[in-house]
Structure 1
Amino acid sequence: MAFPVMLRSLRHRNYRLWAVADFVSITGTWMQNLALNWLILSITGSATSMGLGLVMQTLPTVLLGPWGGVLADRLPTRWVVASGQVVKAVLSVLLAFLALSEPSGVGLLYAISLATGVTTALTAPALGRFGSEVVGPDDLSNGIALGSVLSSAARILGMGLAGAAIPLFGVPAVFFADGASFLAVLVALSFMRKREFFPLPPSAPGERGIVAGFRYVLREPRLLIMFGLAFVLGSLGRNYQVTMAAMSDGPLGAGASGYGVLSVVLAVGTVLGGVFAASRGRLPMRLLLAAATVCALVQTLSGAAPNLLLFAAAILPIGAAAVVLDTTVSTRTQLDSPGHLRGRVISAQGVVGAASGAVGGPALGALCDTLGARTALMLAGALCLTTTAAAAYGLDRVRRARAAAAERAPAATGAAVPQPVPALTAAET
């Protein structure tokens, strides 16, 4: 069966099964997130308490992510993925029964949130590595981009279903539905054909620990520059929930309804960005820099938007460029790292993402409270733009140094000088 270029990953049967199952599972996860936030808020009446529940789910990734990478590189990825889905399904059912008991406190809810976060931290690198095995290196960038589109669509659907289901059926029903959604992944795994996988090599006996992963990342300047750029843009340029709320409630005077409109526009932008990334044959470093420039520049300009319409017009390309940036980072992280270290490199990327969110939310909130939403957006955008320029300069220096080293090596032995390897050509940088 022939597939358009944008859908070329779907020619792999295992990927088709994975895409459908992942869509169902992500939809259930967002239903649970909304229901859990609502339950905590209804018990405590405190937005701070609700935010603490979110921290419980994200903090383990920062602390335990490297161990998840070790597990991904040492154990069969299908086993790790399946185990994680089973644990999360059990935790969702526990949440459902806890909600049925009408708790008066949130201690157990926090405990289950923390357990969910630990499970995510230990299995997320395996999920990333498994994605490489169901689609193969030639279609990996397309698979990641299509995954971004499906993830955005599942997020919108999950929040919409939860918003409708909570008043009709109650919070426990939403938790039960989330528990059932994990079964989709288990069923998909059972129907996948082993002969159609693209297996990655396991970690070598002398490179099975966390240190080996850190050592590899630290000696790869391209990875360090890319992760550094992702951290700055993820912290100061990507916490839109904070800046959109501050602008809507403050200078734009649009209130909660305006914030809802901006959230929808952002979601539409992420879908458009995913479609663009999926239509690309490959995702070179120069596309990463272009997307980062768009995010930073438009964010800087958005601070001067006089009304909701123009601010929404700025949010749309920011959302699209952000997904292109994320997809490119994920693709380069996987394709440019050796298979036996893939899980640990993916875990390093996950730690960077989690840390940027944890740092950026409070930082942007403090800037908005101190300097005002407009000034905060402009200042943060300018810092992101400066960081992007520094990253472009650093990547160019790395490319030139490696090209020069490649020319000197054969010249020393009298051999013919080869052309630079594809990974270091201008098209890739």
Structure 2
Amino acid sequence: MAFPVMLRSLRHHNYRLWAVADLVSITGTWMQVLAMNWLILSITGSATSVGLGLVLQALPTMLLGPWGGVIADRLPARYVVAAGQAVQALLSGVLAVIAAGDPSGTAGLYAIALVSGVVTAMTSPALGRFGAEVVGPEDLSNGLALGSVLSSGGRILGMSLAGVVIPIAGVPGAFATNSVSFLGVLVAVALMRPRELHALPPAEPGERGVTAGFRYVLGSPRLLIMFGLAFVLGSLGRNYQVTMAAMSQGPLDAGAGGYGALSVAFAVGTVLGGVYAASRARLPLRLLLITATLCGAVQMLSGVAPNLLLFGAAMLPIAASAVVLDTTVSTRSQLDSPGHLRGRVIAAQGMVGAASGAVGGPALGVLCDTLGPRTALVSAGAVSLAAAVAAAYGLARVRRARAAAAARAAAQPAPAAAQPVPVLAAEPG
């Protein structure tokens, strides 16, 4: 069966299974996110309490991510993924039971959120590594891009279904639905053809620990520059859950309806970005720098947008650039790293993403409260733009240093060939 270039990953039987399972799982996850937030808010009446639940889920990734990378590089990714999905299904089932008991406190909910975060931290690197094994290196960028589209679609679908399921079956029904959605991943993994997987080599005996992963990442200037740029743009460049709300409530005077419209525009932008990334045969570092520059520049313009329509129009390129940037960083960091360290590189990227979310949300909130939403957007956009320029300079220096090293190696004379040792003939007796 022939597939268009944009859908070339779907020619793989295993990826088709993975894509369907991914969409089902993401849809269920977003149903649970909304149900959890609603339940905590109904119990406490505090938005801060809702934020605490999100922090408890993200914190383990920042603290335990390296050990998740070690597990991914030492154990078969397929079985680690299956185990993680099974545990998450169990935790969602426990949440359904707790919610059905009409809880008056949040201790049990927070405990489940924390355990779920630990499971995510320990299995997400294996999930990323397994995704690379499903499509292989030639289609990895396309698979990641299509995954972004599925993620955006699953998010929209999950939030929409939550609005239907919760009024009919209550919060326990949303949790139970998410528990069942994990079974889709387990079924997909079981039905995959092992002979069509592109297995990555496991970690070598001397490079199996956390230290080896940190040593590789810290010794790779290109990775450090990419991760640094991703952190700045992830924290200040696109934490729009905060700034869209602040702009809607403040300067744009659009209220909750305006915030909802902006959220839809942002979601549409993420889909467009995923489609664009999927349509490209390659995702070079040059594209990373272009999208980072575009993201920072348009964010500065969004800060001076006079009305909701123009501000929403700015959301489209910002959201699209964010997806292209994420896909490029994921593709380059995986393809440019050795297979036996792939899990630890994915874990490092996950830690950067978790840290940027944890730092960026509060930082932008403080900027919006102290300087105003418009100044916050312009200032954060200027920092993002400066980070893009600095990254371009840093990558150019790395490229020149590599070229110089290659030239020096080529100029060195080849070592002289060893002279053969003469064999002495036996003297006549």
Return the alpha-carbon distance in structure 1 between the equivalents of residues 223 and 412 of structure 2: 29
Residue aligning to 1:233: 233
Q: Which runs of 4+ in 1 moved over 4 A?
A: none
Q: How does 1:16-95 map to 2 (within 5 A)?
A: 16-95=16-95
Residue aligning to 2:313: 313
Letter matched to residue 130 of structure 2: F
For the pair 1:138 / 2:105, whether they are aligned, the reply is no
Return the alpha-carbon distance in structure 2 between the equivalents of residues 187 and 386 of structure 1: 46
Offset of residue 211 of structure 1: 0.4
Task: Please state whether the residue corresponding to 1:139 is helix, strand or coil.
Answer: helix
Offset of residue 169 of structure 1: 1.3
Residue aligning to 2:420: none
For the pair 1:171 / 2:165, whether they are aligned, the reply is no
Return the alpha-carbon distance in structure 2 between the equivalents of residues 235 and 175 of structure 1: 30
Return the alpha-carbon distance in structure 2 between the equivalents of residues 162 and 386 of structure 1: 40
Aligned residue pairs: how many? Answer: 415
Residue aligning to 2:402: 402
Task: Please state whether the residue corresponding to 1:206 is helix, strand or coil.
Answer: helix
Offset of residue 408 of structure 1: 1.2
Return the alpha-carbon distance in structure 1 between the equivalents of residues 125 and 169 of structure 2: 35
Deviations 1:160-200 (A, max 9, x none): 00011111111101111000000000000111011000000
Deviations 1:123-155 (A, max 9, x none): 000000000000000000000000000000000
Letter matched to residue 82 of structure 1: A
Letter matched to residue 390 of structure 1: A
Q: How does 1:141-156 map to 2 (within 5 A)?
A: 141-156=141-156
Residue aligning to 1:347: 347
Residue aligning to 2:373: 373
Return the alpha-carbon distance in structure 2 between the equivalents of residues 336 and 255 of structure 1: 46
Letter matched to residue 386 of structure 2: T
Offset of residue 240 of structure 1: 0.5
Deviations 1:374-427 (A, max 9, x none): 000000000110110000000001001101111110210259xxxxxxxxxxxx
Deviations 1:79-123 (A, max 9, x none): 100000000000000000000000000000000000111010000
Q: How does 1:78-227 map to 2 (within 5 A)?
A: 78-227=78-227
| TM-score normalized with structure 1 length | 0.96
Offset of residue 303 of structure 1: 0.4
Letter matched to residue 116 of structure 2: T
Larger Rg computed on CA atoms:
2
For the pair 1:385 / 2:385, whether they are aligned, the reply is yes
Offset of residue 51 of structure 1: 0.7
Letter matched to residue 308 of structure 1: L
Letter matched to residue 282 of structure 1: R
Return the alpha-carbon distance in structure 2 between the equivalents of residues 388 and 328 of structure 1: 14
Letter matched to residue 13 of structure 2: R
Task: Please state whether the residue corresponding to 2:207 is helix, strand or coil.
Answer: coil
Task: Please state whether the residue corresponding to 1:413 is helix, strand or coil.
Answer: coil
For the pair 1:335 / 2:348, whether they are aligned, the reply is no
Task: Please state whether the residue corresponding to 2:137 is helix, strand or coil.
Answer: coil
Return the alpha-carbon distance in structure 1 between the equivalents of residues 113 and 217 of structure 2: 30
Letter matched to residue 274 of structure 1: G
Residue aligning to 2:263: 263
Return the alpha-carbon distance in structure 2 between the equivalents of residues 51 and 401 of structure 1: 45
Return the alpha-carbon distance in structure 2 between the equivalents of residues 42 and 358 of structure 1: 24
Deviations 1:198-247 (A, max 9, x none): 00000000000000000000110000000000001111112110010010
Offset of residue 64 of structure 1: 0.5
| TM-score normalized with structure 2 length | 0.96
Return the alpha-carbon distance in structure 2 between the equivalents of residues 92 and 344 of structure 1: 27
Task: Please state whether the residue corresponding to 1:326 is helix, strand or coil.
Answer: helix
Residue aligning to 1:422: none
Residue aligning to 1:2: 2
Return the alpha-carbon distance in structure 1 between the equivalents of residues 126 and 253 of structure 2: 44
Return the alpha-carbon distance in structure 2 between the equivalents of residues 315 and 194 of structure 1: 42
Return the alpha-carbon distance in structure 2 between the equivalents of residues 10 and 411 of structure 1: 46
Letter matched to residue 245 of structure 1: A
Residue aligning to 2:246: 246
Return the alpha-carbon distance in structure 2 between the equivalents of residues 173 and 353 of structure 1: 31
Return the alpha-carbon distance in structure 2 between the equivalents of residues 204 and 233 of structure 1: 34
Return the alpha-carbon distance in structure 2 between the equivalents of residues 124 and 403 of structure 1: 36
Deviations 1:309-358 (A, max 9, x none): 00001011100111000000000010010000000000000000000110
Return the alpha-carbon distance in structure 1 between the equivalents of residues 379 and 227 of structure 2: 21
Letter matched to residue 360 of structure 1: G
For the pair 1:294 / 2:294, whether they are aligned, the reply is yes
Return the alpha-carbon distance in structure 2 between the equivalents of residues 163 and 326 of structure 1: 29
Return the alpha-carbon distance in structure 1 between the equivalents of residues 413 and 117 of structure 2: 54
Identity in percent: 75
Return the alpha-carbon distance in structure 2 between the equivalents of residues 194 and 168 of structure 1: 41
Return the alpha-carbon distance in structure 1 between the equivalents of residues 363 and 39 of structure 2: 27
Return the alpha-carbon distance in structure 1 between the equivalents of residues 167 and 182 of structure 2: 23
Return the alpha-carbon distance in structure 2 between the equivalents of residues 322 and 414 of structure 1: 47
Return the alpha-carbon distance in structure 2 between the equivalents of residues 160 and 191 of structure 1: 29
